[in-house]
Amino acid sequence: MTGARAPTALIDHDQGVYAQIFTENLKSAHHAFTLKSMDETSAMNAIRHGNLVAIIMIPPGFTDALSHGQTIKIKVIVDNIDTDMTDDIQRAIPSAIICVRQADSVAGIQSQVEEADLIDHDTDFIPTLWSAGSS
């Protein structure tokens, strides 16, 4: 993997207009993701087996909260074995949120990313390649 187009699951528990705009902006984030719509069980299984780099969960009530100027948390689970890919994902999500605001002229959108790491330490790209080649 090159660090671009990281395989990422998208779980949309909202299905509202702002969730759709957010999803479209995630899809167009330059070289960040290859989004796959998945259910939570399949996504967790895939990330644990190394088939995904991250899972982005749009929570229920996302559209309603944004419509009322409320802060909403977006849960992101990352397989932080490669910090280059994790960094791409961490940069793209706030950008996609800003695009939601611009697309619909919504003032004061506030969101928080709640990140959960699968392993307790980061590994850079080169050591990841080295360990993969020695197995």
Q: What is the pLDDT of residue 135?
A: 43
Q: Is residue 106 a part of any domain in this protein? A: yes
> What pLDDT was estimated at residue 61?
94
Phi, psi of 6 (to 5 degrees): -60, 130
Structural domain including 91 reads 6-133
- From the list 42, 52, 57, 49, the residue with the least C-alpha distance to 10 is 57
* Residue 1 belongs to a domain: no
**DSSP run (H or E) holding 124:** none
Residue 93 lies in a domain: yes
Whether residue 62 is contained in a domain is answered as yes
Whether 97 is in a domain gets the answer: yes
Q: Are 85 and 44 in contact (CB under 8 A)?
A: no
11 domain-assigned: yes
Domain count, the chain: 1
Q: Give average pLDDT by consecutive 10-residue segment, the chain, 135 residues.
A: 71 94 82 85 92 91 86 83 70 73 55 56 50 45
Residue 108 is assigned to a structural domain of this protein: yes
Q: Can you give the CATH number for the domain in which 76 is found?
A: 3.40.1710.10
Q: pTM for the full model? A: 0.71
Which helix or strand (DSSP H or E) is residue 108 part of? Answer: none
Tokens encoding 89: 């994902």
Q: Is residue 61 part of a domain?
A: yes
